[in-house]
Structure 1
Amino acid sequence: MDKTYIEVEEAAHTMKLLGDRTRLTLLGLLYSGECCVCELVEVLQMSQPSISQHLKKLRDARLVKEKKKGQWVFYSLNTSHETYPIVHQVLKQIPDQKEKLRALEDKGLRIQCD
């Protein structure tokens, strides 16, 4: 059975993106499920432009996907990206970020749109 390898350049780029605390936290939050930018701003207590800059880097690298629902933009992990196995292994090693999302939900600040 042939093993599929990740290109070194692609792996290095992904690991560089994971090396930033904010981006790693964003990916950890998205590991728990899809989130709206405004939810990420609230959880991380950072400005919307700052969060958007980090998300743009992750989106440009195709590590996250975005989906528009009305006026909202939701982000999720791109589990089909060739370096997702690296991302997945790293995210399994950091603290679960679900509690931060639960706290947001308890405050009534989770976005629910259908």
Structure 2
Amino acid sequence: MQTSIMEIDETALILKLLGDKTRLTMIKMLETNDYCVCEFVEVFKVSQPAISQHIRKLKDAGLVIEARKGQWIVYSLNRDSNFYPLIRSLLKHLPNQDYYLQELEEHGLRISCE
């Protein structure tokens, strides 16, 4: 089997994960910037546990990675994932979501984890 060919079952799982609007938006946002959970809470106006569940599912699938930056855990798109080529081709068809970052910055909420 070639490494560029993905299994149907795995691909179906990834597409199902991204079938959720919040997770799909998160992935699109992570295409251009890293985010902290608290920033996603502010953007999506949902609880921290709800955002953490979405992040956990994306991490478990290998689509998102985390890194500690000072007191914060910051999430980014895993460009080393076997599914990244699929994700990248999908994201090309979606509108830019950077306005969320701009709104956070305008309201002084960029990296506001405490």
- Is this a same-fold pair by TM over 0.5? yes
What does 1:1-114 correspond to in 2, within 5 Å? Answer: 4-111=4-111
Matching residue's letter, 2:48:
Q
- Tell me the C-alpha RMSD between the 2 structures: 1.6
How many angstroms does 1:70 deviate by? 2.8
Which runs of 5 or more structure 2 residues have no equivalent in the other structure?
none
Do 1:63 and 1:81's aligned partners in 2 also have CA atoms closer than 8 Å? yes
| Aligned residue pairs, count | 111
Question: 2: distance between equivalents of 1:28 and 1:4?
Answer: 22
SS in 1 for 2:92: helix
Deviation by residue 1:5-29 (Cα, 9 ceiling, x = unmatched): 1122221111111111111011111
Which runs of 5 or more structure 1 residues have no equivalent in the other structure?
none
Per the normalisation by structure 2, the TM-score is: 0.89
Do 1:10 and 1:83's aligned partners in 2 also have CA atoms closer than 8 Å? no
Change (3 A) 1:65 1:3: closer
How many angstroms does 1:3 deviate by? 7.6
Do 1:36 and 1:111's aligned partners in 2 also have CA atoms closer than 8 Å? yes
Per the normalisation by structure 1, the TM-score is: 0.89
Deviation by residue 1:60-101 (Cα, 9 ceiling, x = unmatched): 111000112232111000011111111112212122110111
